[in-house]
Amino acid sequence: MKQLIMEADITRLASVTDPQYSPDGKKLAYVQTKVNKKQDSYDAHIMVFDTETEETAQWTFGTGRNQHPRWSPDGRMLAFTSNRDDSSQVYVIHTAGGEAKKVTDIPYDVVQPEWSPDGNYLLCSVKLTKTESVKDEKKPEIEDYEPLEVDSLTYKADGQGFKRGKYTQLVFVQIETGDMKQITACERDHVSHAFSPCGEKIAFCANLTEEDDNRVNDVYLMTLSSGELKRLTGQNGIFSSLSFSPDGKRLAFLGHEKEFQNATLDKAWMYDFEKDELTCLTEMLDVHLNDAVAGDSLVGGVLPKPAWTKDGNGFYVIGTDQGSTGIYYISTEGLAYPVRLEKEHLNGFSLRPDETGFAASIALPVWPSELYDIALGEDKAKRLTDANEDFVKEHIISTPEEFQFETADGLTVHGWLMKPAGFEEGKKYPLILEVHGGPHAMYANAYFHEFQVLAAKGSAVVYVNPRGSHGYGQDFVNKVRGDYGGGDFDDVMAAVDHVHAHHDFIDQDRLGITGGSYGGFMTNWAVGHTNRFKAAVTQRSISNWVSFYGVSDIGYFFTDWQLGADLFEDPDKLWDRSPLKYAERVETPLLILHGERDDRCPIEQAEQLFTALKKMGKNVKLVRFPNASHDLSRSGHPKQRIKRLQYIAGWFDSHL
C-alpha cells in the first residue's frame, strides 16, 4: 500500500545531474546526489552509464561530494572534483579501471576542471587572497577574534560569508606531475573558463573595471604565451557560459546588457574572431536562455555550456519557457527554435557525439530528476536511471493540474493546483498559496517536495507565476520592477479567486500563504493588506527595504533595480513598499522562519518584523536556523530542511 509523503522523505530523494558523454559516445558520466543521514550532509558520486550494455556502474564511493565529471579529449581518463579529504581537489580515474589518482593537493578548494585539447593539462578555479598561492603547504588560520577589515561593498556573499579578500583565480594543473601554475592574479573573480581548440588561448569572464562593485561580467580572451588580454564585450553586461566553436573561429556565450537590469532575459551571443565582431543571435527570441526554475528537490544542478555542432553552424542551450525548460538550437545566422520543450524541468544535457540526440537530466511533476535518452526530433524520452523509482512506487504523489487566467489589466497568468493526496469528492479542504522567490524565477512542471508534503497533510496547494516571473517573455518579467506589492499582489490573489471559483472543494475560510525570499516579502505584504488568510509562514523574507539596502549582500543595487528607488533619492518609496510599515494591520497568525547566516535577506529583516508584531500583541512566532544561508530549503543541512518543513506543515495544521 502506498504511503503519504512525509517531511523526512526529502532524505529519500536522489538528484541526477550533469550528464557528460565520452568522446566516443559509449559511456555517459553523471552525478547522483543523496542525503547522508548519519552525517547530516550530502554524498555525491560519479556514475557511468554504458550505452551499449545499458548498465550503470558507480565509479566513486565513500562519503563526500564527487562532482564535475569531465572526459579527457581521448576518452581514456575522467577528471572530477572530490572533497573526500576535507577540501575539494581534482582527481583523475582511468577508464580502463583502477583507483582514482589525486592530481592536486593544496590547502584550498580546487574546482571546475576543464581539459586542454592535448589532454596534458586541466584549467581549474581556486579562491585565493593576494598573499596566498597554489604553492602553499598550509592554509592560514583565521582566529575567531581576528578583525575583519572592510573597504569594499562586495565583502560578503550569501552562502560564502565574508570573502576576506579571496577571489576566484584560474590555474593550470599538469596531469602527470600535479604541478600548478596560477595564470590570473587580479583581485577579481575569474569564472566560466574555456580552452580554445588550438590550446593556445583561453576565454573567461570577469569584472576588470576600476570598481569591484561594478555590476558587469565581461568576456576576455587570453593568449597563454604572452598573457595578453582582449576584452570581447562592452563593460555594460553580465555574461557567462563560454564555449568555443570546433574550429575556434567563434565563441558562444549567454548573457545580457542589463537593459532591464537583473530582469533582463539571458540571450545567446557570438564573438567572431575573424570579423572581430560581437553579435546577439537571439535579439528577437523572447525566451530566457537559462534555467530559472524555483524548486527544493534538485541538489547539484549544473547549467551546461553551449553545445556546438561539429559543423560549427550552431549550438544548443537550455531555455525557460511557459513553466518548463527545454533545449533550444541557436544558429550562427540567428535562427533560434526549441528542439525539446515538454512539460518538464530539463536541468542538464549532453549532446551525443554523433549528434543524433541528447542525454538529459529531467525532473517531472510526479518524478524527481533522472537521466533520459532523447532522440533528436522525437518527443518521447527513454528513462535510463531508476534513482527515484522506489520512492515513486512507494508514495502517493499528487499530480498538479495546470490552469491560466487573464488579469484585470490583460496579462495571462499561468499556474498549477495540487489537490490533497487523499482527495474525496464532496469534502472541503484548506488551500495554501505558495509564492516563489526571485522574483525573476519560475515555478515549473517539476517535482516539488514541499508542495507534496502539504498535499499529503490534507491541503490543496496553488502556485503560480505572477508578473515578474521568467518564462513568459521580457515584458512580463519586467512588469514587477518598481511595483512590488502592486500588480504582482493582485496576480497571486486573483489566482486564489480563480481556483476557488472553479473548484467547489476549496474552503474559502481556510486559506494559507507562504513563500521565501521575494515570496517571503509577498507573504509579509499580503498579511498587511488582507485578512483573507487564516495562517501564514514567511521564509527568509524582506520586511524593511530601508535597512535591506545596507545589510544585504545585494541591497545597495537591488533596491534601485527592483523598486526603482535609491535610499538617498526616494526613501519614502522604500518605506511605502516595506511590509513592516503595515505591521499594525496584521491579523493573520504568522510564523517567521529565517537562517542566521542568510546574507541575501539577513535575519534582521525577520527580527524587525517579529519585534513589531510581538510588541503589538499579534500572533507571531520566530524560528531561527543556526548557520543556515539563504539556500536552506534547497541545499541546507538535511535535518534543518526537515525541521523547516515540519514547522510549515505544523503551523498550517494548527491554524487551518
Nearest Cα residue to 649 out of 453, 483, 462, 470: 453
The answer to whether 407 touches 490, Cβ cutoff 8 Å, is yes
Strand partners, 201: 223
First to last CA, the chain: 28
- Which among 440, 498, 630, 655 is annotated as catalytic? 630
The answer to whether 293 touches 414, Cβ cutoff 8 Å, is no
The answer to whether 574 touches 567, Cβ cutoff 8 Å, is yes
Residue 598 to residue 34: CA distance in whole angstroms: 24
For strands 191-195 and 201-206, give the pairing.
antiparallel
- Which among 22, 324, 361, 517 is annotated as catalytic? 517
Burial profile 93-114: b = 16 or more Cβ within 10 angstroms, e = fewer: bebeeeebeebbebebbbbbbb
The answer to whether 201 touches 235, Cβ cutoff 8 Å, is no
Strand partners, 401: 417
Maximal CA-CA distance, the chain: 76
| DSSP per-residue letters across 326-369 | EEEEEETTS-EEEEE--SSEEEEEEE-TTSSEEEEEEEETTEEE
Residue at grid coordinates 565563441? 251
Looking at residue 197, its amino acid is P
The 3-state secondary structure of 69-119, one letter per residue: EEECCCCCEEEEEEEEECEEEEEEEECCCCCCEECCCCCCCEEEEEECCCC
C-alpha cell at 189: 573573480
Using the Cα atoms of residue 424, residue 426, residue 427 and residue 429 in order, give the sign of their dihedral.
Answer: positive
Does residue 22 have an active-site annotation?
no
Does residue 72 have an active-site annotation?
no
The answer to whether 590 touches 527, Cβ cutoff 8 Å, is yes
Catalytic site positions: 517, 630
